[in-house]
């Protein structure tokens, strides 16, 4: 249902901002997903990230919250009462309120589904069905609708009805078991890793489903995408299940080392700066060892095997650590670059944002926010030179677009909107 968004958007919905970087060629569209309408009724992180990514590349994303607001509005750092993570995760989204737990709210939502291409939700299995908003009902209204359903453990299975957050996926997937010092406890990440990975997988799933629908022509059908937080993270953790199946091995914790190659670790310079190096390729490992004065190790028969280098990690690390510890940061980086070895500084966010490479590529961009003025945030993840996306506006206030959108899209009168507000429906 690729309806022209210009024909269905009120004139004064969120304004288009200039792209973070100049388009390489004139392009009147908002991005490759221009014309796709997404209803985002999800909360907190994984599913909203998927919807954010779709919005970044041109989809019209309509964020629908309970009248009390998405909890993500109050998560993390705040300024003047505005959540900063909300400004990022809800960028490019029109903000409406609607109580889906009421019969009138359900009726309004079904009306919105008629013209939608994608629905993104993360309610527990069975909740939408109880409200008359499950796939069977919605596909009767709109057969071409693509439903991205994000849950902790999926729509089926013995854990499907458990409450879950990304932390539980990070624990169950094996990630935490493999993370941290060898003699320390399992370690969880300090951010929503599982949510972010699932968000990326969800956006990929939606685009794949859109392509499949398009390939079917005018009668193209939608489908349900069953996405758990567990499986995408499990999917990128390497060959652990295969190694256990074939060899009976269980990966443990290695600190900052890798069980697959060496040298790979973090090292402290003479002036107390941390750097990270990796030598996955034998040629790079050779350059590192020659640089640090241990060409003799390169001549060992085992050196050409990444696995064998890992098993000799103590020897390699000791040589590299001593060489780096005797030199200041700038010299270490310069020497590694001179010989063509891989090295990077370990940055905090302030150092990252002041790095010349990050600045030149605008990896962090500045966007005008109507509440806070110019604010910085991560730029788009992909640089599509033919059909670039852009950050058109940042996360908006609760229910900010209710009146204009509902009047334009559904023809609700001011009196009707006032009555629905009074009853807590919007």
Q: Is 256 part of a structural domain of the chain?
A: no
Is there a single domain that holds both residue 197 and residue 318?
no
Tokens of 65: 């919250």
Query: What was the pLDDT predicted at 14?
Result: 57
Task: Look at residues 353, 387, 409 and tell me which one is the last residue of a structural domain.
Answer: 353
Residue written as tokens 């910085």?
A: 376
Is there a single domain that holds both residue 372 and residue 340?
no
CB 87 within 8 A of CB 78: no
* CA–CA distance, 233 with 194 (Å, rounded to integer): 6
Mean pLDDT of 300-304: 96
Q: What is the DSSP string of 288-357?
A: HHHHTT-HHHHTSGGGG-HHHHHHTHHHHHHHHHHHHHTS-HHHHHHHHHHHT--EEE---HHHHHT-HH
Question: pLDDT tens-digit profile of 259-289?
Answer: 999 999 999 999 999 999 999 999 999 999 9
Is there a single domain that holds both residue 144 and residue 217?
yes
Query: Which positions are annotated as active-site residues?
Result: 195
Q: 3-state DSSP call for residue 5?
A: helix
Task: Look at residues 327, 353, 379 and tell me which one is the last residue of a structural domain.
Answer: 353
pLDDT at 29 over 80: no
Query: Where residue 24 falls among pLDDT bands split at 50, 70, 90?
Result: very low
Is there a single domain that holds both residue 44 and residue 66?
yes
Q: What is the DSSP string of 142-207?
A: -TT-EEEEEESS-SSSTTTTS---HHHHHHHTSTGGGSS-TTS-----SS-HHHHHHHHHHHHHHH
Q: Is 391 part of a structural domain of the chain?
A: yes
pLDDT at 10 over 50: no
Domain count, the chain: 2
Query: What was the pLDDT predicted at 413?
Result: 95
Is there a single domain that holds both residue 335 and residue 417?
no
Assign residue 284 the CATH number of its domain.
Answer: 3.30.1540.10
Tokens of 151: 């849950």
Tokens of 199: 């968000």
Q: Is 99 part of a structural domain of the chain?
A: yes
Mean pLDDT of 319-337: 98
Q: Is the pTM of this model over 0.75?
A: yes
List the domain range (segments joined by +) for residue 332.
Answer: 264-353
Task: Look at residues 353, 377, 399 and tell me which one is the last residue of a structural domain.
Answer: 353
Mean pLDDT of 399-407: 96
* CA–CA distance, 330 with 308 (Å, rounded to integer): 31
Q: 3-state DSSP call for residue 119?
A: strand
DSSP 283: H
Q: Is 326 part of a structural domain of the chain?
A: yes
339-354: b (≥16 Cβ within 10 Å) or e? eebbbeeeeeeeeeee
């Amino acid at each position: 249902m690729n309806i022209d968004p210009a024909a269905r958007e009120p004139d004064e919905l969120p304004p288009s901002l200039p792209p973070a970087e100049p388009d390489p060629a004139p392009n009147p569209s908002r991005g490759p997903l221009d014309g796709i309408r997404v209803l985002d009724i999800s909360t907190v992180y994984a599913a909203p990230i998927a919807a954010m990514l779709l919005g970044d590349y041109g989809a019209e994303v309509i964020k629908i919250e309970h009248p009390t607001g998405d909890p993500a509005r109050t998560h993390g750092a705040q300024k003047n009462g505005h959540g900063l993570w909300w400004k990022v995760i809800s960028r490019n989204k029109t903000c409406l309120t609607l109580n889906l737990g009421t019969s009138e709210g359900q009726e309004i939502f079904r009306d919105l589904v008629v013209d939608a291409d994608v629905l993104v939700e993360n309610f527990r299995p069975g909740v939408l069905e109880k409200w008359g908003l499950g796939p069977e009902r919605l596909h009767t209204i709109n057969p071409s609708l693509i439903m991205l359903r994000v849950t902790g453990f999926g729509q089926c299975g013995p854990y499907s009805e458990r409450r879950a957050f990304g932390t539980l996926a990070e624990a169950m997937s094996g990630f935490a078991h493999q993370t941290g010092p060898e003699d320390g406890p399992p370690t969880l990440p300090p951010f929503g890793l599982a949510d972010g990975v699932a968000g990326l997988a969800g956006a990929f799933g939606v685009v794949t489903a859109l392509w499949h629908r398009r390939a079917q022509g005018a009668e193209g059908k939608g489908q349900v995408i069953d996405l758990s937080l567990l499986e995408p993270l499990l999917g990128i953790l390497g060959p652990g299940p295969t190694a256990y199946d074939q060899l009976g091995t269980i990966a443990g914790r290695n600190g900052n080392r890798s069980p697959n190659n060496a040298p790979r670790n973090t090292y402290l310079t003479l002036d107390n700066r941390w750097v990270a190096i990796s030598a996955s390729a034998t040629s790079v490992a050779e350059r590192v060892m020659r640089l640090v004065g241990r060409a003799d190790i390169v001549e060992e028969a085992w050196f050409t095997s990444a696995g064998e280098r890992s098993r000799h990690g103590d020897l390699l690390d000791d040589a590299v650590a001593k060489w780096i510890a005797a030199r200041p940061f700038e010299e270490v980086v310069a020497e590694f670059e001179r010989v063509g070895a891989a090295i990077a500084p370990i940055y905090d966010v302030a150092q990252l944002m002041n790095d010349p490479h990050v600045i030149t590529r605008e990896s962090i961009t500045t966007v005008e926010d109507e509440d806070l003025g110019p604010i910085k945030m991560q730029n788009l993840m992909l640089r599509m030179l033919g059909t670039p996306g852009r950050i058109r506006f940042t996360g908006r206030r609760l229910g900010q677009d209710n009146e204009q959108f509902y009047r334009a899209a559904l023809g609700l009168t001011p009196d009707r909107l006032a009555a629905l507000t009074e009853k807590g429906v919007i």
